[in-house]
Amino acid sequence: MNKIRVGVSVNNDKIEFLCSPEDTVLDVLRDNLRLTGTKEGCGTGDCGACSIILDDKLVCSCLVLAGEVEGSEISTIEGMAIDGKLHPLQQNFLKHAALQCGICTPGILIAAKALLERNPDPTETEVRYWLAGNLCRCTGYDKIIRAVMDAAAEMRS
Amino acid sequence: MCSKKDEMKKKFRVVGTRPIRPDGIEKVTGQALYGADLHAPNMLVGKMLRINEPHAIIKSINISKAQKLPGVKAIITFQDFMEVSTNKTNDILENCLANKKVLYDGHAVAAVAAINSEIAKKALDLIDIELEMLPFVVDVDTAMQKGSPVVQLGRKHENVSDDFSDNVTSFCSFGHGILEDGYKNAAKVIERSFKTPSVHQGYIEPHACLASMTADGRSDLWCCTQGQYNVRAICADIMGIEESKLRVTASEIGGGFGGKTTVFIEPIALALSLKAGHPVKIVMTREEVFKATGPTVSSSIDIKMGMSKLGIITAAHAVIRYEGGAFPNETYELGAQSAFAAYDLKAVKSEGYNVLTNRPAQAAYRAPGAPQAIFAVESAVDELCEQLNLDPLETRLKNAAKKGTKASYGPTFDEIGLIATLESAKKHPHYAAPLAQNQGRGISCGFWFNFGGNTCVSLNINFDGTVGIIEGNPDIGGSRASISQMAAEELGIPLERIRTVIADTNSLGHNDVTDGSRVTFSVGLATIKAAKAAKKEMCKRVAKLWKIHEDAVIWKDGYVLPAGPNAGDQEPLSLKEIAAMSAQTGGPIAGHHEVNAEGAGVSFGVHLVDVEVDPETGQTKILRYTVFQDAGKAVHPSYVEGQMQGGSVQGIGWALNEEYIYDSSGKLQNSGFLDYRIPVASDLPMIEPVILEIPNPGHPYGVRGVGETSIVPPLAAICNAVSRATNIRFTELPLSPPKVLSAILGKE
Ligand code: FES
Ligand code: FES
């Protein structure tokens, strides 16, 4: 097996890993780096549970080959709270009970963070369309949308 | 006596508030460990070989080439398992791994454990399977007919008529009164046939487990499940070991909705581990989840219903045919029992059939069996209201079941909340809001039985005055929070001083599966009783200390105090103080409670929905959605609302989009989230929850289960709304745009 050596930064830590040509970034995060906060719901780009930020772009990590991310910066759910302090999105998800089982939560938090970085004052419709790629089967989205809107308001003030 | 007054407690201090859930931080930071998140040293990867044919005899399986592949550590087929003790366990095993026949597209025939997933996948390709194809059947009505391909012989019960094929395994009938008399008294009688597709629970976390089994039978299993004790019972039976040898630990669970109440990969991982001598992890792909775990039943239902001019249902009859895949199940009974539960009827009959087909074995899905039957009944009620020019909400109020109603399935109802929910819907501004062109409003009632069941809880008073609760049901959506709240309420201490953990199977006695909306009710009940037992012990300790009789002390708001002036004037002692002294007063203090809980109290809900149908595309948009549901007592209202909202949206998906689509060769065409489309955020408006609290007499705080009822009404509520918006009566789900459009075009 020919392994590829890749250097990246994950949540601001410089790391190196070896991967097979067919490994995805999700495989490497979960299996090699044991960063299991990023979840796999489908492996085909349809559920958003594996959302990460790759060089400022929101991507499904199950669709990105690990061998092709040399030199890039990756942010995952594990890097969202800084020094143990929760991000306003995380706080509002807890306050609003925006998670039931919680399996979709890391992906939705990452996606919502990417939205608020681009659009600090989104409308409800904008939030709904932005998060349309993140499936949640438990909540019916109501409390998730409210949590994102409230976090946005809090971050603006 | 200690704790006597607490029974009558009306005002709550912690119950009914909305604290942050205790397992929240782990879940928003990615630290919580779900099924696929555990790694073991020296772990192998397990994968299953699945056959993409609907029905075939397995002539041979040749594993010799695969076995020689370097890195392959074990391969198993059905032949590696010994005979099991019951038909039911055998069905579960044969569903995990085919025996003589492949029974559905996606049925597994072999499993491999290898040092990595690449090698495991290669090994699967090297297994040679010889099959002899058989004719197949995937449609419920076709499967019932004589001459249809038979899925499994010898499964038909004696009470099933010989007019049907051998696929019809079971029959049941419920009801009372004389239907013919009722139809004679009706102003209008309609007969309609309905169909609902099979749909998947769609939990976002695929099944996953990590198993380790040694030659002496001692084994450990980590898995995402709704019931670790049930997993243990099934796997111990399959592996031929005593239950005590197998420790099952439930991981955090990424959704279940009934679909994680049985096993699909767990015995396979154990068997691979035993053979290979390594821990083995199996994680399903999404395609495997769709093809080989349990969707709910699909149905074909006939309703005959009569109504008087004033809107009284004079007689009602349902014939319910459920197809639950290749193995028998009992969902048809739940359908027949729940069909007419919302109504107080003089003459009613419901009959149910279970039918085998070449589809995956069904599994429970939130209120299993009820949504389909109630969809048909509530659609018929709505059409009669329309034809007789009656208000659909008033009409339901006139017929609504109440305390004392003899339900169609036998029991007589105690305090129930149906009338209160209907009244609340009637008063809500939603019901009177104006509608525009191409818009329609739909309503439906919903019902679920709610279960209690076997439950154990241990509650330990730590020396520092904090409290540890051990319970045995996975936290599927906030139950650690609600259980801690009930304990804090009962003990009169701050919530933060309590930690609730979920036990593995060897750390606590048996607990039934997390299903039937039983956890907040039963585990809550056992927690309250365990707390009472601990309080009694604390009273005893203090009485001893004060050298007075046990009856001379009372418990009040977290303190033990003298019962009256005759008992003395000692300073009250707090739980914390009593805990600190426990080593000196007789040792650690704990309470526990074990029960097979009854009195769960049935649950009713009413949904109102406004839709707009685009006449150009046939697309339905949900404009407004309101849910009214009786929670008995909402322990943590946010999570009660969450259940109401989440269940509603699953029902919306079922009504509008979701369905298992089989092609003409019996293969599933949409085994991914792209083509099996569950609702996404942009499909939906906010879902407004209205919680009613009609206390359940069977629970100390009045709690009723709330988890399942909410998936029941959306099917009919939406279908009724679409029918009213288009002036076309729809009887088949899902109301996907092509179906609605062709009906609109057909009318023009
Ligand atoms: S796992 Fe990547 S989108 Fe579902
Ligand atoms: S909280 Fe369970 S899938 Fe979103």
The residue ranges of chain A whose pLDDT is under 70 are 1
As a whole number of angstroms, the distance between CA B393 and CA B383 comes to: 13
Contact yes or no for B259/B288 (Cβ under 8 A): no
* B691 three-class SS: strand
Give the distance from CA B156 to its chain's centroid: 27
Q: How many CB atoms lie within 10 A of CB B732?
A: 14
Per-residue pLDDT of B694-714, as tens digits, reads 999 999 999 999 999 999 999
In this complex, which of A22, A40, A135 lies closest to B36 when CB atoms are compared? A40
Burial annotation B699-725 (CB, 10 A radius, 16+ → b, else e): bbbbbbbbbbbbbbbbbbbbbbbbbbb
Q: Is residue B292's pLDDT more than 50?
A: yes
Expressed in angstroms and rounded, the spacing between residue B686 Cα and the centre of ligand 1 is 25
Q: Is residue B519's pLDDT more than 90?
A: no
Task: Choose among B337, B365, B604, B640: nearest CA to B482.
Answer: B640
Contact yes or no for B732/B723 (Cβ under 8 A): no
Task: Choose among B543, B536, B529: nearest CA to B573.
Answer: B543
Structure tokens belonging to residue A122: 């989104």
Q: What is the DSSP string of B136-196?
A: ----HHHHHSTTSPPSSTT---TTS-TTS-TTEEEEEEEEES-HHHHHHT-SEEEEEEEEE
**Which superfamily, per CATH, for A88-156?**
[2Fe-2S]-binding domain (1.10.150.120)
Per-residue pLDDT of B307-337, as tens digits, reads 999 999 999 999 999 999 999 999 999 999 9
**Where in chain B is CATH 3.30.365.10?**
2-32+452-597, 414-449+601-748
Per-residue pLDDT of B610-639, as tens digits, reads 999 999 999 999 999 999 999 999 999 999
**CA of A7 vs chain B CAs: smallest distance (Å):** 23
Q: Is residue B357's pLDDT more than 90?
A: yes
Where would I find the beta strands (DSSP E) of A1-157? Answer: 4-10, 13-19, 51-54, 57-60, 73-75
Q: Once rounded to an integer, what is the mean pLDDT over residues B45-64? A: 98
Note the pLDDT of residue B3. Answer: 40
Q: How many CB atoms lie within 10 A of CB B221?
A: 27
Q: Which residue has the CA at smallest separation from atom 3 of ligand 2? A: A136
**Span of B251-260, B364-373, B557-566 with lowest mean pLDDT:** B557-566
**Which superfamily, per CATH, for A4-79?**
Beta-grasp domain (3.10.20.30)
As a whole number of angstroms, the distance between CA A73 and CA B385 comes to: 62
Per domain, the residue ranges of chain A are 4-79, 88-156
Note the pLDDT of residue B10. Answer: 60
Q: How many CB atoms lie within 10 A of CB B61?
A: 18
ipTM over 0.85: yes
CATH number of B2-32+452-597: 3.30.365.10
Q: Percent of chain B beyond pLDDT 70?
A: 99
Q: Mark yes or no for CB contact B649/A141 under 8 Å.
A: yes
Identify the burial level of B163 via C-beta atoms within 10 angstroms of its C-beta, where 0-12 means exposed, 13-18 middle and 19 or more buried: exposed
The helix-helix angle for B392-399 and B370-387 (nearest 10°) equals: 120
Q: Which residue has the CA at smallest separation from atom 3 of ligand 1? A: A45
Q: How many CB atoms lie within 10 A of CB B596?
A: 11
A147: which chain B residues are within 8 Å (Cβ-Cβ)?
none
| Residue position matching structure tokens 């349902």 | B318
What length does chain B have?
Answer: 748
Per-residue pLDDT of B71-108, as tens digits, reads 999 999 999 999 887 889 999 999 999 999 999 999 99
Confidence tier at B145 by pLDDT (50, 70, 90):
very high
Q: Which amino acid appears at position B636 of this protein? A: H
As a whole number of angstroms, the distance between CA B439 and CA B725 comes to: 5
Note the pLDDT of residue B5. Answer: 38
Expressed in angstroms and rounded, the spacing between residue A99 Cα and the centre of ligand 2 is 6
Q: Is residue B736's pLDDT more than 70?
A: yes
- CATH topology for B35-135+205-292 is Aldehyde Oxidoreductase; domain 3 (3.90.1170)
Q: Is residue B275's pLDDT more than 90?
A: yes
Q: Mean pLDDT in chain B?
A: 96
As a whole number of angstroms, the distance between CA B627 and CA B635 comes to: 18
How far from each other are the two terminal CA atoms of chain B, in whole angstroms?
A: 76
As a whole number of angstroms, the distance between CA B256 and CA B707 comes to: 12
Please state the pTM of the whole predicted model: 0.97
Nearest atom (ligand 2) to Cα of B204: 3
| Residue position matching structure tokens 């209201």 | B385
B648: which chain A residues are within 8 Å (Cβ-Cβ)?
140
B204 lines ligand 2 (CB under 6 A): yes
**CA of B479 vs chain A CAs: smallest distance (Å):** 10
Note the pLDDT of residue A1. Answer: 60
Would the CATH topology of A4-79 be identical to that of A88-156? no
Q: Once rounded to an integer, what is the mean pLDDT over residues B390-403? A: 98
CA distances from B507 to B315, B480, B636 (A): 53, 17, 27
Note the pLDDT of residue B377. Answer: 98
As a whole number of angstroms, the distance between CA B626 and CA B648 comes to: 9
* Residues B414-449+601-748, CATH architecture: 2-Layer Sandwich (3.30)
Q: Residue B330 — φ and ψ, nearest 5°?
A: -110, 10
8-state DSSP, B360: P
As a whole number of angstroms, the distance between CA B37 and CA B220 comes to: 16
| Residue position matching structure tokens 């019902």 | B447
Q: Residue A101 — φ and ψ, nearest 5°?
A: -80, -30
Confidence tier at B589 by pLDDT (50, 70, 90):
very high
Q: Which amino acid appears at position B366 of this protein? A: R
Residues forming a β-bridge with B446: B605
Q: Searching chain B, which residue's CA lies closest to the CA of residue A83?
A: B29
Q: Is residue B678's pLDDT more than 90?
A: yes
Is omega for the bond preceding B734 within 30 degrees of 0, making it cis? yes
Q: Searching chain B, which residue's CA lies closest to the CA of residue A126?
A: B682
As a whole number of angstroms, the distance between CA B200 and CA B499 comes to: 34
**Span of B2-11, B307-316, B448-457, B732-741 with lowest mean pLDDT:** B2-11
Confidence tier at B6 by pLDDT (50, 70, 90):
very low
Note the pLDDT of residue B9. Answer: 44
* B662 three-class SS: strand
In this complex, which of A77, A86, A138 lies closest to B477 when CB atoms are compared? A138
Note the pLDDT of residue B748. Answer: 72
